[in-house]
Structure 1
Amino acid sequence: MPGAGTLLNAVAIVLGATVGLVLGNRLPEHTRGVVTDALGLLVLLIAATNAASVVDPALTARVGSTAPMLIVLGALLIGGIAGSLLRVEERLERLGVLLRRALVGRRSAAAQEPVVEPDGPAEGPGAARRPASGTERFVAGFVSSSLVFVVGPLAILGALSDGLGHGIEQLALKSALDGVAAVAFAAALGAGVLLSTVAVVVYQGAFTLLGVALGNVLPEAHIAALTATGGLLLAGTGLRLLRLRSIPVADMLPALLVAPVLTAVVAAV
């Protein structure tokens, strides 16, 4: 059922945040690192299964046996160049910073007094220091965790895959990642992390609906090309999780739009 992956993701965040609220900041950094490494290896496995769609019979029958590799390569090159020129990854990171500044701020809206944010000192060299208010801490938890959970290629790739009917494996993996992250966020920033499930449901739900629409419009060969391209983007995500190479995966997201277009062009030639 389309949307099941996003529902699982939301449940994982709620459970993780609940554990974080109970445990506080007792989860060791080393333990979180080990879990992340294990999930990174799993991402590479899922990436390999998706990339195998490059030899999908429907795709090879439509464009030939050698063209699929060139289609995926062309999609990554064209999409990557377009994304880098548009600075997709940089803009997403900047959006996160702007949202956090807009919603959290460095001064208390009520008292207009210098405050201490959860991750930094009060503004000004001699500013008085006091704990951030409960409202500020709640908003910081919501904003920070929401950005981590929705600003990333796995949210888009997984939701599209779910909508296309390819299963929820990617979102299941993301659920595990987000659940662990939610423990750390809730331990540090409190109950606002629970509200981030709303952002996840709305954001990923939109891409799931887009996947459903594409599945009803695109031929099977075009979907196979999109899936193979997405598999390579997932591999980049896995390498980032394993801290082997910081590949700008977000800059390559336009490749998902280019792959079906190239398939149609090659098939028409």
Structure 2
Amino acid sequence: MLGTIVNAMAIILGGLIGLFFGQALSEKMKTTVIQGIGLVVLLIGITMAIQTKNTLVVIASLVLGGIIGELIDIELRLENFGRWLESKLARNGEKSGFTKAFVTASLIYCVGAMAIMGSLESGLKGNYNILFAKAMLDGISAVVFASSMGLGVLASAIPVFIYQGAITLGAGLLQGILSGQVVSEMGAVGGLLIVGIGFNILEIKEVKVGNLLPGIFIAIPITLLFTKLHLGM
């Protein structure tokens, strides 16, 4: 759990720096920086998504994952949790943007190959290098996000800790299942979700990334099934 703990602390530290020193940045500068981050997020997502070896796996994973996500309504649960934290932590002047900041930052930090693969490496091999690198990236982005969106960014450390911690602790159960092909398809699905986050940051189109999250894990049985049936693998 060391890597996950360091990651969560980096978000909190970066967020605190952004809250206390972010006023040095003008609103125009913050907007430009956020747009730059949005473009980078798109680039990361596209780069991950094109690594797929079978587009059918990605399609099936997102469709089934989206159905499951809608039934559970992950996005709504995240928003409700954000509002609950908002009522406990945010001052009156911050409440309008707290939930949006919490949900946006949580999804950015939780979705993607680094979160999943870093947690798996930590749980399976005790290797924290990926999560340490992710902690550095998350901490830097938290400075900018917190200066622009406020206290909700710091609260995103909670789902990051729970999400990555759960993957780390459960990694031993998946040992022997996660072949290179499975990991590649999980990363491709995660990449497309990151593209969706980029759309949200740039306000191009609102994508319910939270409700598509199960697709990352649905990719495991779908890839194994397609491999067994030799469907495009």
Same fold (TM over 0.5): yes
What is the distance in 1 between the residues matched to 2:17 and 2:138?
A: 18
Aligned to 1:17: 16
The aligned amino acid for 2:38 is: G
Residue 90 of structure 1 deviates from its aligned partner by: 1.4
Aligned to 1:139: none
Question: Is there any run of 5+ residues in structure 1 with no aligned partner, and where?
Answer: 56-67, 106-115, 121-142
Residues 155 and 51 (structure 1 numbering): CA distance in 2 closer, same or farther, change over 3 Å?
Answer: same
Q: Which has the larger radius of gyration?
A: 1
Q: Which of 50, 53, 71 is 1:52 aligned to?
A: 50
- The sequence identity of aligned pairs, in percent, is 26
Aligned to 1:239: 199
Q: Assess if the C-alpha contact under 8 Å between 2:107 and 2:210 holds in 1.
A: yes
Q: Which of 57, 69, 72 is 1:86 aligned to?
A: 72
1:31-90: CA deviation from partner (whole Å, max 9, x where unpaired): 1111111111111111122112213xxxxxxxxxxxx11111011111112212322111
Residue 28 of structure 1 deviates from its aligned partner by: 2.0
Q: Assess if the C-alpha contact under 8 Å between 1:83 and 1:254 holds in 2.
A: yes
| Secondary structure of the structure 1 residue equivalent to 2:92 | coil
What is the distance in 1 between the residues matched to 2:193 and 2:9?
A: 23
Larger deviation: 12-21 or 225-234? 12-21
Q: Assess if the C-alpha contact under 8 Å between 1:100 and 1:144 holds in 2.
A: yes
What is the distance in 2 between the residues matched to 1:80 and 1:49?
A: 22
Residues 156 and 41 (structure 1 numbering): CA distance in 2 closer, same or farther, change over 3 Å?
Answer: closer
Aligned to 1:175: 139
Residue correspondence of structure 1 range 254-265 to structure 2 within 5 A: 254-265=214-225
Q: Which structure has greater helix proportion?
A: 2
Residue 95 of structure 1 deviates from its aligned partner by: 2.0
How many pairs are equivalent? 217
The aligned amino acid for 2:140 is: A
The alignment status of 1:209 with 2:168, answered yes or no, reads yes
Residues 246 and 198 (structure 1 numbering): CA distance in 2 closer, same or farther, change over 3 Å?
Answer: closer
Residue correspondence of structure 1 range 1-269 to structure 2 within 5 A: 4=3, 7=6, 10-11=9-10, 13-18=12-17, 20-21=19-20, 23=21, 25-55=23-53, 68-101=54-87, 103=88, 117-119=92-94, 147-148=102-103, 151-152=106-107, 154-157=109-112, 158-165=114-121, 167=130, 172-184=136-148, 196=155, 199=158, 202-203=161-162, 205-207=164-166, 209=168, 212-213=171-172, 214=174, 217-269=177-229
Question: Is there any run of 5+ residues in structure 2 with no aligned partner, and where?
Answer: 122-128
The aligned amino acid for 1:7 is: V
Q: Assess if the C-alpha contact under 8 Å between 1:226 and 1:256 holds in 2.
A: yes
